[in-house]
């Protein structure tokens, strides 16, 4: 028999408080568009929607990247490891503030030029509203800056204790937006949201300082000052970066320059205010220098990158993944002019010093540690009946220099070198050097 056990207490004692907070969040999140629709013009609704489309994408990206932090906080709280929680929270807080400040400072500079490019040709509405672009960026920046505090409160399950803050936030947003939207339009609803988000952020900081983290709120104040100084300096520096006209390529150029400036300013400011954390990151990067160097080479060095792509292509073919293998095969041809036949077998550590115009025929076999320079062809001889007579096999440690053609069912012995501008149609001995057309053994 199955015995029914009655619960003596509510398994989710604060569920309705959580629901109340979610309703308050929904109101806060929807206030701007609703107020503009009811009290303003359709032009303002259109402008708001376009700008919000871009900014909301960034917010969702950062929210998704930080979502796992809540479970980490919950694990430490369950174990009552409050000292560890405090240390990790301070690091996470700094990382999120630094990233968010950089990302949204750059965005606040670039968003209006981007919107102008995006809406080029639209004549009925002017989307050139840089002040609103800056303010709506600040609203989502504030939302992302408060994420560590919001996630920690949720991890602690203290919905009831923080419910009033969520409700007051929603009321502030609605009241201020409604009162000033007629006079200030888009800017009015943005100001209302900024004030509401600022209130809730400060509320959460004070609550955590008094109840969970037990740390002075001045640490948050220091972090906000660093954020503001960084953001102001980035905007000040951006005034000296100008482009003659806005098109896609000039916008990309502007984005690269502003991003580089932002990274430099952020590094200097954080080095001055958070010297220990910056040095800690530098030490970790130094300890992984070799790994980072390899990653850099794979990404930016064409000879390494091409070999990686070839190895991926061969692996896809082994797994009979036809669609991806065809796409990658085509990429190798378009980007490098490298053709890899269907039944090619390649050993370890293939080296392509100059990966350009290389043909490796259908049934070619290449051993370990082989090197192929550019304009090398490994193929087959065709008879008058257009029948293949086999493909070459390269043993280990073979080096083939530029403009060499190796064709037919032949074997190139181990440790053999074939010089530039050679035509090879017969087997070559191991540990030898050949060159020329006709081919001659040099040693």
**Cβ atoms 147, 63 nearer than 8 A:** yes
> Which of the following is catalytic: 22, 339, 374, 382?
382
Clarify whether 97 is annotated catalytic. no
Q: Quick one: which of 310, 360, 353 has its CA closest to 335?
A: 310
Q: Tokens 């505090």 identify what position?
A: 149
The secondary structure of residue 271, as a DSSP letter, is H
How many other C-beta atoms can be found within 10 angstroms of the C-beta atom of residue 295?
Answer: 11
User: How long is the chain?
Assistant: 443
The secondary structure of residue 348, as a DSSP letter, is S
| Rounded Cα–Cα distance for residues 363 and 361 (Å) | 6
Q: Quick one: which of 321, 313, 302, 367 has its CA closest to 340?
A: 313
Q: What is the DSSP string of 235-272?
A: HHHHTT---SS--HHHHHHHHHHHHHHHHHHHHHHHHH
Q: 441 by DSSP, 3-state: which? A: strand
- The structure tokens listed for 209 are 């300082």
∠ at Cα 38 (175, 194), nearest 5°?
40
Residues 6+ apart with CB under 8 A from 97: 145, 223, 226, 227
| Rounded Cα–Cα distance for residues 418 and 404 (Å) | 8
Backbone angles phi, psi at 406, to 5 degrees: -120, 115
| Rounded Cα–Cα distance for residues 423 and 434 (Å) | 10
| Rounded Cα–Cα distance for residues 36 and 340 (Å) | 59
**Cβ atoms 418, 434 nearer than 8 A:** yes
- List, by residue number, the catalytic residues: 382
């Amino acid at each position: 028999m199955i015995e029914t056990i009655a619960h003596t207490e509510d398994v989710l004692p604060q569920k309705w408080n959580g629901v109340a907070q979610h309703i308050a969040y929904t109101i806060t999140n929807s206030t701007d568009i609703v107020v503009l629709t009811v009290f303003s013009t359709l032009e303002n609704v259109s402008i708001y929607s376009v700008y919000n489309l871009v900014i909301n994408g960034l917010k969702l990206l950062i929210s998704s990247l930080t979502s796992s932090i809540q479970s980490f906080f919950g694990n430490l709280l369950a174990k009552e490891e409050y000292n560890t929680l405090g240390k990790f929270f301070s690091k996470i807080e700094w990382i999120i503030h630094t990233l968010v400040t950089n990302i949204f400072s750059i965005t606040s500079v670039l968003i209006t030029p981007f919107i102008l490019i995006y809406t080029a040709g639209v004549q009925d509405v002017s989307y050139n509203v840089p002040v609103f672009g800056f303010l709506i960026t600040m609203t989502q920046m504030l939302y992302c800056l408060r994420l560590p505090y919001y996630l920690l409160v949720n991890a602690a399950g203290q919905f009831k204790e923080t419910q009033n803050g969520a409700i007051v936030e929603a009321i502030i947003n609605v009241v201020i937006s409604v009162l000033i939207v007629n006079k200030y339009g888009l800017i009015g609803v943005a100001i209302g949201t900024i004030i509401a988000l600022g209130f809730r952020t400060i509320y959460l900081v004070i609550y955590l300082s008094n109840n969970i983290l037990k740390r002075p709120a001045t640490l948050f104040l220091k972090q906000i000052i660093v954020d503001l100084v960084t953001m102001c300096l980035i905007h000040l520096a951006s005034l000296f970066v100008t482009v003659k006209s806005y098109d896609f390529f000039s916008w990309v150029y502007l984005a690269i320059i502003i991003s580089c400036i932002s990274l430099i300013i952020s590094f200097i400011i954080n080095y001055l205010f958070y010297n220990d954390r910056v040095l800690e990151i530098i030490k970790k990067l130094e300890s992984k220098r070799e790994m980072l160097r390899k990653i850099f080479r794979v990404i930016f060095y064409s000879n390494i990158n091409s070999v990686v792509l070839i190895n991926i292509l061969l692996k896809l073919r082994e797994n009979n993944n036809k669609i991806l293998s065809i796409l990658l095969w085509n990429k190798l041809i378009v980007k490098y002019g490298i053709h890899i036949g269907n039944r090619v077998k390649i050993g370890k550590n293939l080296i392509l010093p100059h990966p350009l115009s290389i043909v490796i025929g259908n049934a070619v076999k290449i051993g370990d540690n082989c090197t192929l320079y550019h304009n090398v062809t490994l193929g087959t001889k065709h008879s008058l009946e257009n029948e293949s007579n086999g493909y070459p096999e390269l043993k280990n440690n073979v080096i083939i220099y530029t403009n060499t053609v190796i064709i037919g069912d032949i074997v190139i012995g181990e440790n053999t070198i074939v010089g530039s501008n050679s035509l090879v149609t017969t087997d070559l001995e191991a540990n030898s050097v050949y060159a020329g057309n006709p081919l001659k053994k040099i040693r």
